[in-house]
Structure 1
């Protein structure tokens, strides 16, 4: 496995992975699917802000997943708090791809001065919660019935990791 910044060659695969997650799971509460041009626009916007979208590829270059991060909320008081997204193909789960992606993502975020990284997870997604706990994230909030998908209400768990020990100015 290799972790790389996404290139145009990866756009269609990234869109396909996210579309599968949207259609099949509650890992993301959104129902909008991405196209390759939308992925290109997202990557351009993230790069302009100093953030990359990373992919994990196998030995032949097949995209197995991706991860990215962006602002947690608007307003300059949140400049040092980011929320990440990570999505893997079913065959990549449990193989170390997610951990490898997160190590690169967190290293980039820490180098950019990110103080807190947030994960927003479906409360029923026990595997994602365990994954984040293993990476040092702690549950900091639970929001009942804030999402709706597949005809049911979804609870959101917020987890966070403090990335540095920098004091506030």
Structure 2
């Protein structure tokens, strides 16, 4: 089940995010997310007309995934270009929840006038690139070395999906 996130989901979302942030190069972020930061991010996105979605496990209703989106870059010239974030717990992968989350984001963004949805995928995450291709994204560029984590430079793959 996919639904808009509630403030009470923030601790579970922070736990999902932190597994990626602290243990992988999928995210270039170094610092753990607090539940308060996640709740503030949810509020910020809603205030901007965006949304934060969660995927729930069928058994028990635990949060097993999340997705959100915001403007790709600042400034009015980018107002129809959005960038998304999506992550699932390892146990939830391969069940279609990731695609459902991306579709929820894409639909919400398109209904509000977005023309493109962007993904920034770590160059060390070929599974993420394949996932995005399966969700209708095309690879636009590979930027060499803008990220740095665990003592090494990381490439960034930019992918785009047309919404309009």
* Global fold match (TM > 0.5): yes
Quick one: distance in 1 between partners of 2:8 and 2:70? Answer: 22
- Partner residue, 1:76: 76
Give the RMSD, CA atoms, in angstroms: 0.8
Deviation at 1:4, TM superposition (A): 0.9
1:31-110 superposed matches below 5 A: 31-59=30-58, 60-110=60-110
Q: Distance in 1 between matches of 2:8 and 2:61?
A: 10
> Which residue of 2 is the match for residue 8 of structure 1?
7
SS in 1 for 2:131: helix
CA distance, structure 2, for counterparts of residue 105 and residue 48 of structure 1: 16
Q: Which runs of 5+ in 2 are unaligned?
A: none
| Conservation of the 8 A alpha-carbon contact between 2:16 and 2:88 | yes
The TM-score with structure 1 as length reference comes to 0.94
Q: Find the aligned partners of 2:22 and 2:68 in 1 and give their Cα distance.
A: 20
- 1:39 to partner: Cα distance: 1.1
Distance 1:17 1:134 in 2: 22
| 1:124 equivalent in structure 2 | 124
Structure 1: stretches of 5+ with no match in the other structure: 165-169
SS of the residue aligned with 1:102?
A: helix
SS at match of 1:10: helix
In the aligned structure 2, how far is the partner of 1:16 from the partner of 1:39? 10
Query: Which residue number in structure 1 is paired with residue 139 of structure 2?
Result: 139
SS in structure 1 at match of 2:41: helix
